[in-house]
Amino acid sequence: MNAAGNLPAWAALLTALCVLVGAAVALIGSLGLLRLGSFYARVHAPTLGTTLGMASVLAGSALYFSVLEARPVVHEILIAAFVTLTTPVTLMLLVRAALYRDRTEGSGEVPGGTWRRPRR
């Protein structure tokens, strides 16, 4: 399956650019996981990959298949919609779990840390 040879040069270059930009943005996001100090700060890093990184790779995919098949291929937009709708659920679940843990431990770093053990 080597259909990529039929792709005109301009489309190949643009596709490569889109995919590389997306990969670079996702890489910077992953680097953030390594460099950022606290858990709450680290949660911000992967959102780079799920927004601009994802959009750029999907734009490359849509362009590649649209040019190759000579018709608009836009079902990548579904991936964008579902990733955008589901990432916040995961991230909020992680952050709220961390917040709950820190509050029960009485950590001074999080606001509202006066959680009391429910009476039996």
96 near another protein (CB under 8 A)? yes
- Contact of 65 with 12, CB cutoff 8 Å: no
Q: Which positions from 37 to 76 touch another protein by CB under 8 A, shown as an x/- string?
A: xx-xxxxxx-xx-xxx--------------------xxx-
Residue 37: CB minimum distance to another protein, A? 5
Q: Which stretch binds another protein (CB under 8 A): 1-9, 12-20, 79-87?
A: 79-87
- Contact of 17 with 63, CB cutoff 8 Å: no
Q: Alpha-carbon distance 109 to 114, whole Å?
A: 12
Diameter of the chain by CA atoms? 72
Q: Is 41 helix (H, G, I), strand (E, B) or coil?
A: helix
Q: Which amino acid is at 41?
A: A
Half-sphere exposure of 19 (CA within 13 A, CB side): 11
29 near another protein (CB under 8 A)? yes
Please work out the total of residues on this chain that contact another protein, with binding judged by CB under 8 A.
37
Q: Decide whether 69 or 120 has the Cβ nearer to another protein.
A: 69
Q: Decide whether 5 or 99 has the Cβ nearer to another protein.
A: 99
Q: Is 108 helix (H, G, I), strand (E, B) or coil?
A: coil
List residues near another protein by CB under 8 A: 25, 28-29, 31-32, 35-38, 40-45, 47-48, 50-52, 73-75, 77-78, 84-85, 87-88, 91-92, 95-96, 99, 110-112
